[in-house]
Amino acid sequence: MVRRPRFEGQVVVITGAGSGIGEAMAVAFASEGATVVVVDRDDASASRVAGEIVASGGAAHAESADVSLANDVRRVIDGTVARYGKLDVLCNNAGIGVAATCHETSEADWDLTMAIDLKGVFLGCKYAIPHMISQGRGVICNTSSVAGQVGVLNRAAYCSAKAGVLGLTKSIAIDYAAHNIRCNALLPGTVDSPWIGKILAQQADPVGERARMEARQPIGRMGRPEEIAAAALYLCSDEGSYATGTGLVIDGGLTAR
């Protein structure tokens, strides 16, 4: 018996989909039959990912947007519904990180982190939920982090923003359950992504720092973007239909100590 693709006929919007976890999500959803709207503030990256999906036989198109700007987010969400007639899944994945303790964090870096990592999630939900209410269903998957659940060294703004994402996720799950809208969060540990590459490039000893990052997971390595994408597929599929308001930890045992 041939298995039907889990997201056949569905429309999925993914922010921060031009690289890393977001790119892996876009490829994974498309491979399961979804039409994917690849959203990134870097238009070239979004276009590359969407083009590769289409070239491999999938359905996708790119949108350039800054998730911290209400007009950008509203344009993407409303435009998706105008183009395809619905929005089945929203993955609020776009995020940045600043390596600094509280007293070392500039006000500008704090504001930028909150604007993208937390406000961006709020705006995505704010503009997607009315459409989901109208159509009688919808699923939201927000990328938080284990840094939103436990303290992580030298990540004051990031920890704060990601804790906010987890709180917002739970609030939405409660407020909209009666509308058949589910909302969950992914809590990845250290994932080998372009962001980690940038952090390593800033270190005096990148090789040693990579080894330390790998060693802090009991399984001895960083996660792969595809592993986080697989968890998103589960949470957003019918297989995950009983899950809402949860934070799914995928961290190689980092928080199990």
pLDDT in tens, 76-127: 999 999 999 999 999 999 999 888 999 999 999 999 999 999 999 999 999 9
Q: Exactly one of 84, 127, 158, 242 is catalytic; name it.
A: 158
What pLDDT was estimated at residue 2? 67
The torsion angle over the Cα atoms of residues 228, 39, 240 and 174, rounded to 10 degrees, is 110
- Asked if residue 119 lies in contact with residue 69, where contact means CB atoms within 8 angstroms, the answer is no
pLDDT digits (tens, 9 = 90+) for 180-222: 999 999 999 999 988 788 778 888 888 988 998 898 899 999 9
What is the H or E stretch that residue 12 is in? strand 11-15
Cα end-to-end span (Å), the chain: 43
* pLDDT band of 257, cuts 50, 70, 90: confident
Residue 71 pLDDT: 98
Residue 153, SS3 per DSSP: coil
Which tokens is 96 given? 């940045």
SS3 138: strand
Cβ atoms of residues 255 and 189 within 8 Å: yes
Complete domains list, the chain, with CATH: 11-188+223-249 (3.40.50.720)
What does the pLDDT average to over 1-23? 94
Question: Which DSSP state fits 163?
Answer: H
How buried is residue 9: exposed, middle or buried, by Cβ count under 10 Å (0-12/13-18/19+)? exposed
Give Cα 111 to chain centroid, integer Å: 19
* 176 classed as catalytic: no
Average pLDDT, the chain: 95
